[in-house]
Chain A
Amino acid sequence: QSALTQPPSASGSPGQSVTISCTGTSSDVGAYNYVSWYQQLPGKAPKLIIYEVSKRPSGVPDRFSGSKSGNTASLTVSGLQTEDEADYYCSSYAGSTNVFGTGTEVTVL
Chain B
Amino acid sequence: EVQLVESGGGLVQPGGSLRLSCTASGFTFSGHWMHWVRQAPGEGLVWVSHIRGDGTNSDYADSVKGRFTISRDNAKNTLYLQMNSLRAEDTAVYYCARAGVMGGNDYWGQGTLVTVSS
Task: Tell me if B89 is interfacial: C-beta within 8 Å of chain A.
Answer: no
Within B38-77, the residues touching A (CB, 8 Å) are: 44-47, 50, 59-63
Q: Which stretch, A10-18, A19-27, A51-59, A74-82, touches the partner chain B? A: A51-59
Within B53-112, the residues touching A (CB, 8 Å) are: 59-63, 95, 97, 100, 102-106, 108-111
CB-based contact B45/A57 at 8 Å: no
CB-based contact A51/B61 at 8 Å: no
CB-based contact A45/B44 at 8 Å: no
The residues of A that contact B61 with a CB separation of less than 8 Å are: 1, 97
The residues of B that contact A46 with a CB separation of less than 8 Å are: 37, 45, 95, 97, 105, 108
| Secondary structure of the B contact surface, majority rule | strand
CB-based contact B44/A103 at 8 Å: yes
Within A75-109, the residues touching B (CB, 8 Å) are: 87, 89, 91, 96-103
Cα A97 to Cα B45 with chains together (Å): 14
Q: Which residues of A contact B (CB under 8 A)?
A: 1, 3, 34, 36, 38, 40, 45-48, 50-52, 55, 57, 87, 89, 91, 96-103
Q: Which residues of B contact A (CB under 8 A)?
A: 35, 37, 44-47, 50, 59-63, 95, 97, 100, 102-106, 108-111
